[in-house]
């Protein structure tokens, strides 16, 4: 089993398969009902935090690479630049029920972004109750 604290994931670099650093993980978004990580919030562009865009990257599209001590994504810089992106303030009030599917749909159209197994899972999953890893969680009451 390979467990890791979310604090150790944030700040990790994200590379494409050409070895180009695309950005770093700023936060994780967790589905509060399933407990599964749904998205990595990746900062991209800007300089010293100014002008950065934030992308919600489906967690299934990232793979940890020990040799680079970071995550790999099957995505070109151009595809990332064209992806849905948000200001930092928008991330905190993001509507995952609506926008989460838009994000999944965008990345699902990129050939090879998901493995066939992930693509099948993605087609049957729904995003409706995701929260940031640093946001307080309230458990549903029965």
- Model pLDDT, residue 139: 40
Task: Give the gyration radius of the chain's Cα atoms.
Answer: 15
Q: Which domain holds residue 48?
A: 9-132
* Angle, helices 96-108/116-124, rounded to nearest 10 degrees: 150
Q: Judge whether 141 lies within some domain.
A: no
- Model pLDDT, residue 118: 64
Total structural domains within the chain:
1
Q: Judge whether 140 lies within some domain.
A: no
Question: Would the pLDDT of 6 be above 60?
Answer: yes
Q: Judge whether 18 lies within some domain.
A: yes
Whole-prediction pTM: 0.72
Q: Judge whether 28 lies within some domain.
A: yes
Q: Judge whether 71 lies within some domain.
A: yes
Over the stretch 36-51, which tens digit does the pLDDT of each residue have?
A: 888 899 987 766 656 6
127 secondary structure, DSSP code: -
Cα–Cα distance for residue pair 76/82, rounded to 1 Å: 10
Over the stretch 45-80, which tens digit does the pLDDT of each residue have?
A: 766 656 678 888 999 899 999 999 999 999 888 988
**String of DSSP letters for 53-118:** EEEEEEGGGEEEETTTTEEEES--HHHHHHS--B-HHHHHT--HHHHHHHHHHHHHTSTTSS-HHH
Over the stretch 7-31, which tens digit does the pLDDT of each residue have?
A: 889 999 999 989 999 999 999 988 8
> In CATH, what number is assigned to the domain containing residue 107?
2.30.30.240
Q: Judge whether 33 lies within some domain.
A: yes
Largest interatomic CA distance in the chain: 49
Cα–Cα distance for residue pair 85/82, rounded to 1 Å: 8
Pick the residue with more confidence: 94 or 81?
A: 81
Q: Judge whether 3 lies within some domain.
A: no
- Where residue 103 falls among pLDDT bands split at 50, 70, 90? confident
Q: Judge whether 84 lies within some domain.
A: yes
């Amino acid at each position: 089993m390979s467990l890791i604290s979310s604090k150790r994931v944030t700040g990790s670099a994200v590379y494409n398969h050409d070895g180009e650093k695309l950005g770093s993980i700023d936060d994780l978004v967790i589905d509060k009902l399933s407990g599964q990580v749904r998205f990595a919030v990746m900062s991209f562009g800007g300089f010293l935090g100014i002008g950065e865009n934030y992308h919600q990257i489906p967690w299934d599209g990232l793979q940890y690479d020990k040799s680079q001590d970071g995550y790999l994504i099957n995505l070109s810089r151009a595809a990332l630049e064209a992806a849905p992106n948000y200001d930092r303030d928008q991330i905190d009030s993001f509507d995952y029920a609506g926008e989460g599917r838009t994000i999944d749909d965008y990345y699902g159209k990129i050939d090879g972004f998901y493995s066939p197994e992930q693509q099948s899972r993605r087609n049957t999953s729904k995003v409706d109750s995701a929260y940031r890893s640093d946001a307080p969680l309230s458990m549903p009451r029965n």
